[in-house]
């Protein structure tokens, strides 16, 4: 039975995901702090790291006050922006409308997907002709990744650069970052984060230069990271998939747990 069709497993895995990766989230950098404050779990980090709300347990009576409390918290710290990571099964049902009313702006929806590591590690994934893999271990490699992501996604995310540098410096066993190289040119990049003791390794990035798409590089990077996670005994891989990535991941065997929308609050 595939992950997509095993509904009992998907329900169980979603509950485990929420317990470990949302309610029990670990800081994603040494300088970050994750705390549960009332009905909200949030991460706060100085500098250019990721700030945001990871989980909430709200209802129609408490939601607006809790949203205001989080805006006040991050505003008082001078945070330029923070994210409220909303899932389609979060309560209340109109939480997205309430966030918009409070000044948050939704970014494109992503599909929360999970695959069995052992299945994905067994994927046949030979590098396309002329492509080699390079594991990133230093700042120069991170800068190559950021260059690929700018070409792939059309945006720059300095907070991702800072987060990766922090992990490589302070917790190198927690991250696997990899480049697909065509000679001396980086054409695709992806990373995997492996919180200690968690059942889920998160696949992030997964960006390919548009000129190199359609050659199996994305699949190659998924299989590479799956093999690393399998060697660590991590049972599941998790992805917040874009509309472009979802069909590929479904073909590889990932199942859908839900839909998540990043709601962004920006100062001023």
Q: 10-residue block means of pLDDT along the chain (268 residues)?
A: 77 96 93 94 90 97 98 95 97 98 97 96 88 96 95 85 91 96 96 97 94 92 97 98 92 95 95
pLDDT in the model for residue 2: 67
Which domain does 40 fall in, by range? 7-111
CA distances to 132, 135, 148, 184 from 212, rounded to whole Å, are 13, 19, 11, 14
- Domain count of the fold of the chain: 2
Q: Is residue 1 part of a domain?
A: no
- Tell me the CB-side half-sphere exposure of residue 125, using CA atoms within 13 A: 21
Contacts of 179 (CB under 8 A, 6+ apart): 133, 134, 135, 136, 141, 144, 145, 148, 186, 188, 189
Distance of CA 58 to the CA centre of its chain: 23
Beta strands in the chain (DSSP E): 33-37, 40-44, 52-56, 81-87, 105-106, 110-116, 131-135, 175-182, 185-193, 200-208, 236-241, 255-266
Domain stops at, among 86, 111, 136: 111
| Residue 53 sits in the same domain as residue 139 | no
Domain stops at, among 59, 86, 111: 111
CA distances to 18, 170, 175, 192 from 165, rounded to whole Å, are 27, 8, 10, 14
Number of Cβ atoms within 10 Å of the Cβ of 108: 8
**Structure-block tokens of residue 61:** 């009576």
Three-state DSSP class for residue 145: helix
User: Taking the complete model, does pTM exceed 0.85, yes or no?
Assistant: yes
Name the one residue in this structure whose structure tokens are 């695709």. 188
| Residue 92 sits in the same domain as residue 213 | no
| Residue 185 sits in the same domain as residue 243 | yes
Domain stops at, among 94, 111, 128: 111
Q: Is residue 200 part of a domain?
A: yes
Three-state DSSP class for residue 240: strand
**DSSP string of 208-222?**
E-GGGTTSSHHHHHH
pLDDT in the model for residue 1: 63
CA distance 250 to 18: 21
pLDDT in the model for residue 5: 67
| Residue 76 sits in the same domain as residue 126 | no
**Structure-block tokens of residue 88:** 């389609």
CA distance 158 to 203: 18
| Residue 162 sits in the same domain as residue 61 | no
Q: Is residue 266 part of a domain?
A: no
| Residue 248 sits in the same domain as residue 159 | yes
| Residue 138 sits in the same domain as residue 247 | yes
Do 201 and 117 touch, CB atoms closer than 8 A? yes
DSSP label at residue 211: G
| Residue 124 sits in the same domain as residue 106 | no
Q: Is residue 195 part of a domain?
A: yes
Beta strands in 162-224 (DSSP E): 175-182, 185-193, 200-208
């Amino acid at each position: 039975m595939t992950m997509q069709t095993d509904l009992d497993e998907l329900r169980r895995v979603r509950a485990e995901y929420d317990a470990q990766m949302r309610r029990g989230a670990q800081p994603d950098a040494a300088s970050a702090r994750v705390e549960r404050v009332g009905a909200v779990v949030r991460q706060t980090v100085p500098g250019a790291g990721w700030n945001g709300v990871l989980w909430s347990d709200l209802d129609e009576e408490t939601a607006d006050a809790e949203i205001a409390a989080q805006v006040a918290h991050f505003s008082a710290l001078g945070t330029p922006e923070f994210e409220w990571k909303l899932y389609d099964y979060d309560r209340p049902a109109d939480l997205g409308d309430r966030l918009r009313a409070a000044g948050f702006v939704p970014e494109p929806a992503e599909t929360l997907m999970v695959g069995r590591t052992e299945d994905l590690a067994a994927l046949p994934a030979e590098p396309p002709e002329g492509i080699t893999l390079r594991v990133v271990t230093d700042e120069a490699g991170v800068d190559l990744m950021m260059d690929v992501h700018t070409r792939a996604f059309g945006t720059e995310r300095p907070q991702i650069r800072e987060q990766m540098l922090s992990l490589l410096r302070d917790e190198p066993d927690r991250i696997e970052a990899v480049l697909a190289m065509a000679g001396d040119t980086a054409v695709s990049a992806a990373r995997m984060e492996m919180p200690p003791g968690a059942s889920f390794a998160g696949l992030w990035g997964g960006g390919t230069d548009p000129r190199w798409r359609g050659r199996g590089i994305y699949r190659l990077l998924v299989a590479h990271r799956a093999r690393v996670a399998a060697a660590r005994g991590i049972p599941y891989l998790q992805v917040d998939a874009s509309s472009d990535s979802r069909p590929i991941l479904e073909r590889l065997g990932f199942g859908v747990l839900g839909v998540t929308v990043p709601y962004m609050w920006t100062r001023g």
